[in-house]
Amino acid sequence: MEIKKNPKSNLENFSKIFMQIGLVLALFVTYVAIEKKTYDKIYGNLGSFNMNQELEEEIPITQKIEQVQPKTPPPPAPEKIEIVENEKEIEETVLESTETDQTEEIVVIEEMEEEEEIVEDVNFMIIEDVPTYPGCSGNNQERKDCFSRMVQKHFGKKFNADLPNELGLSPGKKRVFIGFKIDKNGNVVDIQTRAPHPKIKDEVEKVMSQLPKMKPGKQRGKPVGVKYSIPFTLIVE
């Protein structure tokens, strides 16, 4: 005989209902727990208490004991007492005062050594007062132009123009650079030359050493050495 199961006794059909009922109960319990009120507990009378009460501490009384130092005996009396007569003169040392009166004038003498100002050599282009070639005059710029013109004239007159051709140099223009200094006395010194051949260099230095003595240049009113340089062009045929 086969046993038939009643469809109403199957609990799976009521699973959704059970889940909903469970959610409703959980929400209800949560709501009740949140809304529950609590009150502070009240204790009985604890009596009064003074927070400002200070604790009294017994401080022991101490006494300072002074140590008794032994007394030193007085110095012994001199064996012989010297009697000084009133008429005896006693020499006194007089100290002179170093203080000065306001009316007195204090004079301080300082020894200062005069140091000689050393002025180095100055370039011809920036010298305040240029050296003066014999026969030149006028203002500073005019004497500059005259100086350069007279030096070129002296070189062209004294230099041996046939020397470059005699040395067998290649035809063309040859540059010669000359530099010298007019010292504090107006003499031409420290001649320096750069030339295409040693013999030409010797000839140039010989010519420049024959420059006449000049009036020295001045810087700040004092004679100084003045450096001068000039290039020359030699034409070799």
Lowest mean pLDDT among 12-26, 45-59, 117-131: 45-59
Instruction: Read off the pLDDT of each residue in 29-52 and give the average, rounded to a whole number.
Output: 64
Residue 25 lies in a domain: no
Domain count of the fold of the chain: 1
232 vs 213, higher pLDDT? 213
54 vs 60, higher pLDDT? 60
Q: Which two tokens stand for residue 7?
A: 């469809």
Residue 43 lies in a domain: no
> Among residues 210, 214, 206, 148, which one has the least CA distance to residue 185?
214
In angstroms, the CA 43 to CA 192 distance is 120
Q: Is 205 exposed, middle or buried (0-12, 13-18, 19+ CB in 10 A)?
A: middle
Sequence-ordered list of residues with C-beta below 8 angstroms from that of 236, at least 6 positions apart, any chain: 164, 165, 169, 170, 171, 172, 173, 174
Write down the pLDDT at residue 8.
60
In angstroms, the CA 222 to CA 25 distance is 121
Residue 104 lies in a domain: no
10 vs 132, higher pLDDT? 132
Write down the pLDDT at residue 4.
56
Q: Which domain holds residue 168?
A: 122-236
Q: Please check the confidence at residue 193 and state whether its pLDDT lies above 50.
A: yes
Task: Indicate the Cα dihedral angle 141, 143, 146, 151, nearest 10°.
Answer: -110
Residue 226 lies in a domain: yes
Phi-psi region of 221 (alpha: psi -120 to 50; beta: other; left: phi over 0): left
Q: pTM above the 0.75 mark? A: no
Do 209 and 188 touch, CB atoms closer than 8 A? Answer: yes
Distance of CA 227 to the CA centre of its chain: 35
Residue 58 lies in a domain: no
Residue 106 lies in a domain: no
Q: Please check the confidence at residue 162 and state whether its pLDDT lies above 70.
A: yes
Between strands 226-236 and 122-123, the pairing is: parallel
> Among residues 237, 234, 172, 170, which one has the least CA distance to residue 207?
234
21 vs 101, higher pLDDT? 21
Q: Which two tokens stand for residue 67?
A: 């140590």
Residue 3 lies in a domain: no
Q: Which residues pair with 22 in a beta bridge?
A: none
Q: Which residues of 39-59 are buried (b: 16+ CB within 10 A; e: fewer)?
A: eeeeeeeeeeeeeeeeeeeee
Residue 66 lies in a domain: no
Write down the pLDDT at residue 57.
54
Do 148 and 178 touch, CB atoms closer than 8 A? Answer: no
